[in-house]
Amino acid sequence: MFAALGRMVVGHPWRVIAVWVVAAVAVIALSPGLPTSNDESDFLPGHYESVRAGKVRDAAFPDTFAPAAVVVVSRADGRPLSAADSARVAGVAKSVQDAHLKDAHLKNVAELVPGPPAPNRLVQTIAVRMPPGVGTDTPEAADAAQALRGELRRLTAGTGLRARTTGAASAALDDRESSGDADLLVMIATLVLILVLLLVIFRSPVTALLPIVVLAVLSQVANGLIAATVRALGLRADSSASQLLIVVLFGVGTDYILFLMFRYRERLRAGDDPKTAMVGALARVGEAITSAAGVVIIAFLAMTLSTLSLFRSWGPSLAIAVTVTLLGGLTLVPAVVSLLGTRVFWPSKAWRREPEAARFARVGASLARRPALYAAVAGGVLAVLAVGSFGFRPDFDLAAGALPSSAESRVALEDLQRGLPAGSTDPTHVYLTGRKLDRAELGRFGERLKAVEGVGEVAPPQVGPDGRTAGFSVVLASAPESARALDTVRGPLRRTVRQAAPAGTDALVGGSTAVYVDIRAAMNRDYSVVFPAAAALIFLVLALLLRSLVAPWYLLASVGLGFGATLGATALLFQQAGGKPGLLFHLPLIMYMFVVALGTDYNILIMARLREEAREGAAPRPALAAAIRHTGPTIGAAGLILAGSFAALMLAGNQVLVEVGFAISFGIAVAAFVMALFVTPGLTALIGHRAWWPGHGAAPPAADPAPVPAGRRTS
């Protein structure tokens, strides 16, 4: 099949290239934009309590809003605010709101609502509302927060007052400013890494630039198809979707191109002419690349089983990206290389001869002599690291983890806590619905809420126009995104609300903290469904590729061990050694996408070569040595590029991206340099031909797609 595909592509390269160029132009011209949302509640199904509470709020209290930012006003000398100071605060709020109608920079600052001074009069707050459709962590919100800060400085100059902003929009601005040109820096670092490593490996600028140029075309096709698919399915992505797509396209695409180019060079060294070498390379490695991509696609599509629409949109999006990359790797890349021939390695001549003292040859020979020792030591180290995964704690407080202590949003939050609970920036809301309640019933219910441990303040109730809905604004003692706030809402607050609700009413707890609680519950459910489903489907792909019911078991076990070791190492580094309260709440899912799905590629590549060597009659240990010698450089180069690309995220200056960059790069390195080069081949050599049961690993080799000169070994 893949030999026939290779002959078709090599025979008609210009037609193949033309089809891809036309497809890219058509998709760019016709595809819609990617629909996104930054409201976490948009990603939850409607049956969750926080979503139902939001619907009650919209129906009964449409004018209620969660502030996009909070202005914290205090005296510069630290003394309590006087009556005149409070009057100035109200004047500042009115002046900014008036400026909103005149100043284009303040167009997204829709309303400012001053609150009363704190009981100790050390601070006073102004709630800031932005227009509908402006997400609190969007560039528009950050721009509005920046303009607001400038206007506040102007209005408070010489008054003795100090006005600082905190809240989601303010944190988004601080994140942007602290990161600076982080996106550009990461992109440049990634491209430089790919170019430098490919130059070192192939010693050719043509080969180094090939993945960049080809993937630029493929990315346009993939992005257009993804936008159309996500819209057709009625899903939404979050603002991180585009960055994930870029990483997947360039990371996976470079890997698959490397798999093909290494095998192409190998066939040239075996004596094939360039066109025959490309047909032979596709015939030999095409099945492994397709199977590796199939595993990644299945893993991503398994995310459609998620409860959260965020991950359901990621699944098809990333699966489409990998599918387009696979098709391009099997058609566009061979077409371009077949036109260039050996000029693809210009000006290097090293492609003509195989190094005599290759490092991977020595590694393979050593591993073949002592496979049990290598597998036991490598597996033992990873098992020790995996123990640390039991200490993983999810953290929703991304701002505190990502921003420096000098950021204005964090300083303003500290100012606010001098007079008000930390939860004042984003209160939790409790709603009673069902029947009219008198003032005494509402008062008793409010007193029960005040008595809940972790609750700082409870405002007087609001009653809806029909008298059948009452809302209580509950200010938590902890920051809304903190683990302590989540525990308060999940446990004592919701429990008290259900117990204290007057007869004949339904009680609901909503607000951002409640949304985070429900997201955490949904993710725990997803882990128990998505991971097993993906494992079963990946097992099927491995069984079909390897024609074995034995090898897939220990391959999946090794992948699971690598996942546990990566999560454990990350938890030990950042939580234990770094003193952080927790890690990014959906880090395990991100690791699943990139470490498990992409890391399995390397296991597939080495196992496909082991099976090929066995089918050519090699005994288990010589097959291991040959597989490491020939495939080790491919895995090493691909793993180094992919791990290095993710490690570039650590340059962003954002602590959340540092966590993600470390976890993924560490996991990819484990998958490539430990699992694929030591554990998996070592276990295969120990199990011997039984690893391929019920297939026939030592069956005669299939007919070679091209003649090989006498005296030259087929590889």
CATH number for the domain spanning 668: value is 1.20.1640.10
**Which stretch, 229-233, 305-309, 323-327, has highest mean pLDDT?**
323-327
Say whether both 546 and 493 belong to one domain.
Answer: no
pLDDT tens for each residue of 476-496: 988 888 888 899 999 999 999
Q: How far apart are CA 561 and CA 379, in angstroms?
A: 8
pLDDT tens for each residue of 201-231: 788 888 888 888 888 888 878 877 877 776 6
Residue type (1 letter), 135:
G
Say whether both 540 and 567 belong to one domain.
Answer: yes
Say whether both 262 and 284 belong to one domain.
Answer: yes
Residue 355 confidence (pLDDT): 61
Domain boundary residue among 302, 321, 348?
348
* Helices 512-546, 49-60: crossing angle, 10 deg rounding: 140
∠562-567-569 over CA atoms, to 5°? 90
Q: How far apart are CA 638 and CA 257, in angstroms?
A: 9
Domain boundary residue among 178, 195, 228?
178
CATH number for the domain spanning 478: value is 3.30.70.1320
Band of pLDDT at residue 80, cut at 50, 70 and 90: very high
Distance of CA 547 to the CA centre of its chain: 33
Mean pLDDT (whole number) for 5-34: 82
Residue 239 confidence (pLDDT): 47
**Exposed / middle / buried, residue 503 (Cβ in 10 Å: 0-12, 13-18, 19+):** exposed
pLDDT tens for each residue of 160-176: 999 999 887 888 787 77
Q: Which two tokens stand for residue 181?
A: 């040109």
- 105 closest CA partner among 73, 65, 148, 70: 148
Task: List Cβ neighbours of 270 (8 Å cut-off, separation of 6 or more).
Answer: 277, 708, 712, 713, 714, 715
Q: How far apart are CA 225 and CA 430, in angstroms?
A: 42
Residue 645 lies in a domain: yes
Residue 48 lies in a domain: no
Say whether both 371 and 264 belong to one domain.
Answer: no
Residue 449 lies in a domain: yes
- The residue segments making up the domain with residue 404 are 358-411+519-698
- 367 closest CA partner among 61, 46, 674, 615: 674
For residue 433, the cross-strand partners are 469, 506
Other Cβ atoms closer than 10 A to 551: 27
Q: Which two tokens stand for residue 488?
A: 């308060």
Distance of CA 15 to the CA centre of its chain: 37
pLDDT at 664 > cutoff 60 = yes
Say whether both 448 and 392 belong to one domain.
Answer: no
Q: What is the total count of domains within the chain?
A: 4
Say whether both 391 and 455 belong to one domain.
Answer: no
- With DSSP H G I counted as helix, E B as strand and the rest as coil, what are the percentages for the chain, rounded to 5? 70, 10, 25
Say whether both 569 and 660 belong to one domain.
Answer: yes
CATH number for the domain spanning 131: value is 3.30.70.1440
Say whether both 490 and 618 belong to one domain.
Answer: no
Q: Could you give the 3-state DSSP secondary structure of residue 467?
A: coil
Say whether both 537 and 656 belong to one domain.
Answer: yes
Residue 399 lies in a domain: yes
CB 268, CB 342: distance < 8 Å = yes
Residue 33 confidence (pLDDT): 56
For residue 471, the cross-strand partners are 431, 462
Domain boundary residue among 510, 542, 561?
510
Residue 710 confidence (pLDDT): 36
Say whether both 152 and 81 belong to one domain.
Answer: yes
Q: Which two tokens stand for residue 694?
A: 């019920």
Alpha helices in 501-550 (DSSP H): 512-546
Band of pLDDT at residue 79, cut at 50, 70 and 90: very high
pLDDT at 428 > cutoff 90 = yes
Mean pLDDT (whole number) for 341-353: 81
Residue 186 lies in a domain: no
Residue 601 confidence (pLDDT): 80
pLDDT at 270 > cutoff 70 = yes
Distance of CA 124 to the CA centre of its chain: 38
Q: How far apart are CA 715 and CA 712, in angstroms?
A: 9
pLDDT tens for each residue of 580-618: 878 888 888 878 777 777 778 888 888 888 888 888 888
Q: How far apart are CA 482 and CA 417, in angstroms?
A: 15
Q: Which two tokens stand for residue 184?
A: 């550009």
Distance of CA 655 to the CA centre of its chain: 14
Task: List Cβ neighbours of 461 (8 Å cut-off, separation of 6 or more).
Answer: 442, 445, 446, 470, 471, 472
Say whether both 553 and 653 belong to one domain.
Answer: yes
Radius of gyration of the chain (CA): 30
- 682 closest CA partner among 325, 382, 258: 382
Residue 386 lies in a domain: yes
Residue 192 lies in a domain: no
**Which pTM does this prediction carry?**
0.76
Say whether both 624 and 475 belong to one domain.
Answer: no
Residue 375 lies in a domain: yes
